[in-house]
Amino acid sequence: MRRAQLSNFSELPEGFDYFPEFLTRAEERGLLHTFTTLEFQAFNFHGYVARRRIIQYGFEYNFGSRRATATKPIPAFLQPFRERAATWANLKFDEIIEAVVTQYPPGAPIGWHRDVAQFEKIIGISLNSSCRMRFRRYRKSGQTVSVLLEPRSAYLIQDIARWQYEHSISAVKDLRFSITFRTERSQGRRSKNSNTARDSVMPSNENTTAS
């Protein structure tokens, strides 16, 4: 497994991993072309419409009902990357049950949040432009650390980085897309690093998360 040569990599929470050039340039071009055909939807968080737009496959999460329900299957164009992501994260292909493609127009951020508790591991792939992902302890004080996510790179968030930290992305300078793959969090396999009492369907900071 390759790791980013980043000066602050060692400061990032345990459970975060980074894979530069996870996609080839040709794969990135192909995906960006496919994305032009997708019908992205506004991300609506309790009536607040965020600037980023999304399309969800496999499962979709409803912030009103706080439930993830089955939706259209993960499409063929994402399958090779689902498989690659599963191999990198030591997962079986079908453990990845959800895929979200997100479009960030210039200026769009994603605010501080910990992903909803129905899901466990997160693998994110960045396309078209770079952005800065930040981490800080979830509902605790402490410093913020950040990592540059370059186009074609992937990151993995699991264990401590998944449950004891929240993350955000600063407003992007240029159009960015991401593919987020998530595994199911089974009741019987609750992470020892999670804190059930705090497994709310955050965002912990609704204003910035929905921005």
Ligand X SMILES: O=C(O)CCC(=O)C(=O)O
Does residue 124 touch ligand X according to CB under 6 A? yes
CB of 105 to ligand X, least distance (A): 13
Does residue 102 touch ligand X according to CB under 6 A? yes
Which positions from 40 to 79 touch ligand X by CB under 6 A, shown as an x/- string?
Answer: ----------------------------------------
Which positions from 144 to 183 touch ligand X by CB under 6 A, shown as an x/- string?
Answer: -----------------------x-x--------x-x---
CB atoms within 10 A of CB 42: 11
Cα 37–Cα 43–Cα 48 angle in degrees, nearest 5: 150
> Residue 64 carries which DSSP code?
T
- 108: tokens are 């769009």
> Residue 154 carries which DSSP code?
E
> Residue 172 carries which DSSP code?
P
Residues 71, 60: Cα–Cα separation, whole Å? 6
Residues in contact with ligand X, counted by CB under 6 A, come to a total of 9
CB of 83 to ligand X, least distance (A): 19
CB atoms within 10 A of CB 149: 24
Tell me which of 17, 28, 98, 115 binds ligand X, using CB under 6 A: 115
Q: Which residue has the tokens 């009902």?
A: 65
Residues in CB range of 203: below 8 A, 6 or more apart: 45, 111, 112, 113, 114, 209, 210
Residue nearest ligand X (C-beta atom) = 178
- The residue (of 172 and 188) whose beta carbon lies closer to ligand X is 172
Which parts of this chain interact with ligand X (CB under 6 A)? 100, 102, 110, 115, 124, 167, 169, 178, 180
